Structure 1
């Protein structure tokens, strides 16, 4: 793995790069960093691809802009990564909140995007009030760690799965900026992902991005999206079913780049 600084917008972006080959860019979940992709990125790199995992602005060397962020600005950062690495078009893998940025990138920069993999794709049909409250609790430092971990388990992990891999790695100020970027951008601006082919990887027990979101995406774009359901996983997905997710993503890449 190497780390590179990619010039973009208000300042450079810190990017972890693994492997060689066609480019795959991975975007993490709300308020979380690129480290969430360590297992998946290594597996995809070992399968023969170049994997770039940008840190969200505010983490690593990535500076925070003075102006309010929008999904369009976050997508411009992704476009800068693809352009700088010289490997377009790229496949973008977006986990949870990252799938919003992925779809915005495909909308605003279609020539840079070969296809999208949406892990736990939401943003259209909201969770219940109880689940939304647990999400807020996860980022609230006023609560003791054990209470926050219980909320992580309820909101992000399937029943019976161990939430401790995500006991930390939560960045409240990052999540707040990302939420403001979401509010500033109408869902219709990014929901259909431009013209990109999409694979929606739906956790069977996701209570944050409920499965009806994937159904709504199919209704909107038809056969431009495929849906694969992963059993025994909630919204976290990556630490819950790492091997299954890696197999699904690698199979998609091989199909997309068969020649």
Structure 2
């Protein structure tokens, strides 16, 4: 099913189609409904959002990529928009399967998949579970999920209270703004743009999936695809420099200046440029052009 969303025009020449697919759960056949945005023509890029947030966070980034000649697909995670399905006892393989169902429906792939923050985990799981669908992975402001032996820090421990507090309806607006400022935004950027747009239901399901899935199921994004580690200069959450020591030349590191963990609302042009340059390299290497 396809509908036109008049409120989500990414650019005058590139209307966004908002679509909905239904597919049966591999576990028990329960119908799962996944909404996704689809815009542009050309080599495809799939963007997966951060914890408890919507693909609409990347409206501006997607529009820029479309103007650069790419097709951009943005699935909404379960619990957000019209994406519906079981929300209990999910793991990263479930979230990756939702994305795979969209790509199979559209018959696109292998493509470059971008995972922002938490979204890097289902992005890498997709690359591991369905290597036929993925030819490159962008980790945008993304935690690796584990650290080199001997490290004294623990993955996901930094600013956990602020990360969770940003979407907590039990906190006051001032408290939530403080959480957003500490965890997500670089100095000088207004964190109020992320006061809205959170899904408590998705937060719980996605947090459970992170805890329930062994990190080695997805850490390396399969065995072969190139990875762009797109780091934010002022990211208070992510411990930088983890992927390349493990995976070597598969990983390219790029730093987005004047950005925090949120990245997309702070530096959409730099984010889009980094993704586009990486995607062009990946697609050129596949075609030999």
- TM class, shorter-chain normalised? over 0.9
Aligned to 2:9: none
SS in 2 for 1:111: coil
- Partners of 1:38 and 1:227 lie apart in 2 by 24
Conserved? CA contact 2:61–2:271, under 8 Å: yes
Tell me which residue corresponds to 2:228: 199
Residue matched to 1:235: 261
Confirm whether residue 14 of structure 1 aligns to residue 35 of structure 2.
Answer: yes
User: Partners in 2 of 1:137 and 1:4 — Cα distance?
Assistant: 32
Partner of 2:277: 251
Q: Which has the larger radius of gyration?
A: 2
What secondary structure, in the 3-state scheme, does the structure 2 residue paired with 1:94 have?
strand
3-state SS, counterpart of residue 17 of structure 1: strand
* 1:63 alignment counterpart: 84
> Which structure shows the higher helix fraction?
1
Shift of 1:7: 2.7
**2:161: which partner in 1?**
133
Gaps of 5+ in 2: 1-15, 26-30, 147-153
Is the 1:206–1:235 contact (alpha carbons within 8 Å) kept by the matching residues of 2?
A: yes
Aligned to 1:156: 184
1:91 to 94, 112, 128: 112
8 Å contact 1:12–1:61 — kept in the other structure?
Answer: yes
Contact 1:204 1:229 in 2 (8 A): yes
Structure 1 Cα separation of the partners of residues 79 and 161 of structure 2? 25
Residue 210 of structure 1 and its aligned partner are, at CA, apart by 2.3
4+ aligned runs moved over 2 Å, structure 1: 6-10, 123-129
In the alignment, is the contact (CA less than 8 A) between 2:36 and 2:75 conserved in 1? yes
3-state SS in 2 of match to 1:14: strand
Question: Gapped runs of 5+ residues in structure 1?
Answer: none
User: 2:46 maps to what in 1?
Assistant: 25
Q: CA-atom RMSD, angstroms?
A: 1.4
- Could you say which residue in structure 2 is the equivalent of 1:80? 101
Compute the TM-score of the two structures, normalised by the length of structure 2.
0.85
| Structure 1 residue 139: Cα displacement | 2.3
- By how many angstroms is 1:160 displaced? 2.1
